[in-house]
Amino acid sequence: MSFKRIGVIGSGQLGRMLALAGTPLDVEFVFYDEARVSPSCNLGKCIFPSEQGSFEQFADSVDVITYESENTNLELVRKLNQIKPVYPGEASLSKSQHRLTEKNTFRDLGLNTANFLRVASKEDLLDAAKQLGLPIVLKTTTMGYDGKGQAVVKTEDDINGAWELLGAHELIAESFVNFSRELSVIAVRDIKGNTKVYPISENDHEAGILRISRVPAKALSPEKQKQAQDYITTMLNHLEHVGVLTLELFDCDNGLVVNEMAPRVHNSGHWSMEGSHCGQFENHVRAISGMPLGDTSPKQESAAMINIIGKTGDRDSVLSTPNAHLHLYGKEERLNRKLGHINLLGNSHAEVELAIKKLGAFIKECG
């Protein structure tokens, strides 16, 4: 095994689950984050960036570095990469954290996207509304997640309000995509360029936050499955990506449309912790550490993931549900905060749907 200690920029639930997956492989973790109490703080050494000498201490104490979020400081990653390898690399991070750069990359590589225009002024917004046709989705080019930093402009009457809300930032206007559902495809690439792809998931959102992922996506044509696999393989190789990569997709009548990418383990892949032979967190650890990639195929016919949002809910109802697996992140309750998730496995789609119905309070009442 090439590496013994992994540094993680951030110490949230993704870092926590990376550590839980990597510890049985005899990998240690060091977290670089200002949070004194965090989901990861009990799973490895924590180094606080504000303390003197912390940068050098972090770099010297690890063999390889990764990060939890596409909003990670790019300059920090560049500086660390001069000392220790950082995976995924700078190209994956820089292109994913700026929506215009990301969309141009998709288009240049032949991936279908919504039509889009850069918006730097209210006049640009008025022009985009004319060129793209209403409705359009207006988004900040940076720092948006879970539905934040965006507004839907349905009519001309919405333009002033959208500009007042977002106009202080660089923006991108995207034509509205008519889609039947949202999908995601997750894959992993190792240092040698070997790749593996997970089953495609179907995702339900509420207020921009993922609530349920179901695997495999029901009634997805072989053509669209191949399209998704081709898209993510193209991105992995173009970026020379090492680790897990996610593409969020719209399912449309004439094919798949790429919405955005995440250069990391992803919420819609949490089902894989119990649902696949090698989950996304373990495979990310394997990929960046030079280990062979694990089997991404599912263990059973069907799986699902329910996000626990805002309130922890009735734990016993989960623990008494067959083939349900509870993951709590050690976070205090707060509106719209991701506190944990529930993974469900079954021998059929119907079996998993019954379990989702039984645990419906986590979807309807928590928020």
List pLDDT tens digits, range 219-240.
Answer: 999 999 999 999 999 999 999 9
Average pLDDT over residues 264-268: 98
Which letter, b or e, does each residue of 100-136 get, where b requires 16 or more Cβ atoms within 10 Å of its Cβ?
A: bebbebbeeeebbbbbbbebeeeeebeebbeebebeb
| Domain 181-364, CATH | 3.30.470.20
Distance CA 98, CA 94 (A): 7
The yes-or-no answer to whether 5-86 and 181-364 have a common fold is no
Question: How many residues belong to the chain?
Answer: 367
pLDDT at residue 2, rounded to an integer: 55
Average pLDDT over residues 76-101: 97
List pLDDT tens digits, range 109-153.
Answer: 999 999 999 999 999 999 999 999 999 999 999 876 656 788 999
365, pLDDT greater than 60: no
Check whether domain 115-175 has CATH 3.30.1490.20, yes or no: yes
Alpha-carbon distance values, 207 to 148, 155, 177, 180 (Å): 9, 20, 17, 17
Least confident range from 58-62, 207-211, 220-224: namely 207-211
Write down the domain spans for the chain: 5-86, 115-175, 181-364
Paired residues of 306 in beta bridges: 212, 342
45, pLDDT greater than 60: yes
Residue 335, φ and ψ in degrees, nearest 5: -50, 130
**Helix, strand and coil percent figures for the chain, each rounded to 5:** 35, 30, 40
Distance CA 254, CA 224 (A): 9
List pLDDT tens digits, range 287-308.
Answer: 999 999 999 999 999 999 999 9
355, pLDDT greater than 90: yes
Task: Fill in the DSSP letter of residue 156.
Answer: G
pLDDT at residue 144, rounded to an integer: 67
pLDDT at residue 341, rounded to an integer: 98
Distance CA 364, CA 307 (A): 11
Distance CA 222, CA 365 (A): 37
pLDDT at residue 142, rounded to an integer: 87
Distance CA 175, CA 131 (A): 9
**pLDDT confidence of 208, banded at 50, 70, 90?**
confident
Question: Which position has the token pair 């990597």?
Answer: 22
Q: Specify the DSSP element, H or E, that contains 55.
A: helix 54-60
pLDDT at residue 33, rounded to an integer: 98
| Domain 5-86, CATH | 3.40.50.20
pLDDT at residue 367, rounded to an integer: 47
